[in-house]
Chains A and B, each alone.
Chain A
């Protein structure tokens, strides 16, 4: 700490060039100053968020509850950490209730927007505006739920979301990044996810405007793909990333309807660029994080996007090489989960975990295992996914009095102050949680049939 303070003094004095730290005697270059600066800001930010959330928000009980169950709930027995979610098991009725609560929160999120999209809730900053990308892929989740539960009102809401997405499509064919109020340029990944929503609305309505809109964006995606098979122009932060396999899937889904060979070709090119150049022998992916600074240790969220994208595409194309690439990484996560009873937020190239639980990534991983159960009929995948969902229900089931703004929502991290989306309930976390529970129900039914 003293070291940090000393470094700060140098920084304040404007000595940004390489200087020797008088306390520990190492050289501090400008990069260290930047990192220290970020650290101080981050610490300050955390202190501010903690104070405001505890003193001035109605959600203080959520923060206190997480402190109680995460910090005080951890025990050490026989030199092993026993996590608070250990031995938490939820019945099928409790799982159904958790799904209903998650869906209700997503619908409340839509109601809280000025348009038909979906936003996220932050304990201090409150509701964001609609997040274009996630609004796109929330549509298939809620349509699936509505069809199963025969809820026509939800189907109508999804048509409205589809119309809104079509209305905000950029002239190029792409969709903007991040929140609608940010009014950013179009982004490859985000565009791919909106296509998912539009295709589902098209399947439900048979209205060609949704398909035309999706096809227009696919044309745009194909036009900007680099020769090598990756996307750099209009990519998030302008760097090629492997989680664009999750863009290849909607391209292929559009190909299945339109039979436009170009979509298939471009998707294949990207998929083979990923598995031939970016996947290590142990299943880890290079260039997988959505930041540049922490690309050596990507978040589970983007790792899961990459695997899910590969798996989905492999199944559509019936390409065993692509499926095997997905299985290789999914099995590694399976092994880590069964060994540690949870998954970390980040993993380095040797699959060494760091950071608290990132709930979105956990739900996405459960979805991957459930898809693998459907493919291989290996009950171990279903078993692991059910255990993962137990953890997520434990996180969702806070047992405190909550307003509709948070009730049923999954936080970005567990505990809520974790580094990924701190003090926040991003809509994509709840979306994947709902997806996972929907798919689990289907897989459980299948497993019981197989067991008879």
Chain B
């Protein structure tokens, strides 16, 4: 069985963390599908410039409004220098397949031609034609417990309900976060260190990406198999973006926990 990854950019944080996790578990991916999205490449650059200008402007204003106040930088998690070097070295020799988009007909043909594959996805939404390729398994990282917290702001909802945080690797299916689960692991958090939603999100996503290698290795060694989720189709099992007022209160509570 061939192993692969998909990404928009080779510098993408999630992609690099998942790749590092695979390498640490002795898995060397056979290919990386890099897709720019054709015309989107141009619009993406415009968007990037627009966002950068906006952020600079916001930073300038926030500097003025926060003058004299204590600035708390959010905690960030990133690969160690050794892990990062290992990833860069691997990428320099890896088979990188350039494609316009993950849902393009040429990409579908390519994946079909690869035979049995397992692909870790960092590619946005896959259409039904891609998901329907019988020889391929597409995996997604979900930084929360399934089926309990599907969809958006899953870390926030788990925190709001004072529930434990989980990392889940599951198969991508038609419904959002409804695919069969390959591995689900509890994330141990240090409440004294994490004081805001952004701290928790950064930590949970970092830890969740780190589980990818273990999940694929377990599957290849036949120690792990896919398990169906319970409770599909319930609208209340689908979590939606949290209202900013609720986020405000959650942040307040997290800082005092």
Task: Please report A residues at the B interface, Cβ cutoff 8 Å.
Answer: 89, 91-92, 331-332, 334-335, 338, 378-380, 382-384, 386-387, 390, 444, 447-448, 451-452
Contact = CB atoms under 8 A, between A and B. Distances in A.
A383 B244 contact: no
Contacts of B250: 451
Nearest to A91: B245
Contacts of B236: 331, 334, 378, 380
A383 B152 CA distance: 13
B239 A380 contact: yes
Nearest to A90: B245
Nearest to A332: B235
B94 interface: no
A338 B157 contact: no
Contacts of A448: 249
Q: Give the contact-size bracket for chain B.
A: 10 to 19
Given A92-B245, A386-B245, A379 B157 contact: yes
B242 interface: yes
A338 B245 contact: no
Contacts of B249: 447-448, 451
Given A331-B236, A335-B235, A386-B243, 8 more contacts: A89-B243, A338-B238, A338-B240, A382-B246, A383-B243, A384-B240, A386-B246, A451-B162
A65 to B, nearest CB: 25
Nearest to A327: B236
Contacts of B89: none
Nearest to B153: A383
A89 B238 contact: no
Nearest to B256: A452
Nearest to B240: A338
A63 B243 CA distance: 30
Contacts of B157: 379
B110 to A, nearest CB: 25
B253 interface: yes
Closest A-B pairs by Cβ, 7 of them: A335-B235, A386-B243, A89-B244, A338-B240, A383-B243, A448-B249, A380-B236
A448 B250 CA distance: 8
Given A448-B249, A451-B250, A452-B253, A383 B235 contact: no
A337 to B, nearest CB: 9
B36 interface: no
Nearest to A89: B244
18 contacts: A89-B243, A91-B245, A331-B236, A332-B235, A338-B235, A338-B240, A378-B236, A379-B157, A379-B161, A380-B239, A382-B246, A383-B240, A383-B246, A386-B245, A444-B245, A447-B246, A448-B249, A451-B253
B80 to A, nearest CB: 35
B175 to A, nearest CB: 13
B245 A451 contact: no
Interface string B108-119: 000000000000
Contacts of A382: 246
B236 to A, nearest CB: 6
Contacts of A332: 235
B245 A334 contact: no
B171 to A, nearest CB: 23
A334 B253 CA distance: 28
Contacts of A451: 160, 162, 249-250, 253
A341 B163 CA distance: 28
A6 B79 CA distance: 74
Q: Which of B160, B162, B236, B238 is most buried by chain A, counting CB atoms within 10 A of its CB?
A: B236
B54 to A, nearest CB: 14
Interface in B227-253: 235-236, 238-240, 242-246, 249-250, 253
A387 B12 CA distance: 32
A387 B153 CA distance: 15
A334 B235 contact: yes
A207 to B, nearest CB: 40
B44 to A, nearest CB: 13
A417 B179 CA distance: 45
Interface in B211-235: 235
Q: Which of B161, B235, B246 is most buried by chain A, counting CB atoms within 10 A of its CB?
A: B235
A448 B160 CA distance: 9
Q: Which of A92, A448, A451, A452 is most buried by chain B, counting CB atoms within 10 A of its CB?
A: A451
B243 A387 contact: yes
Contacts of A89: 243-245
Contacts of A379: 157, 160-161, 246
Contacts of B246: 379, 382-383, 386, 447
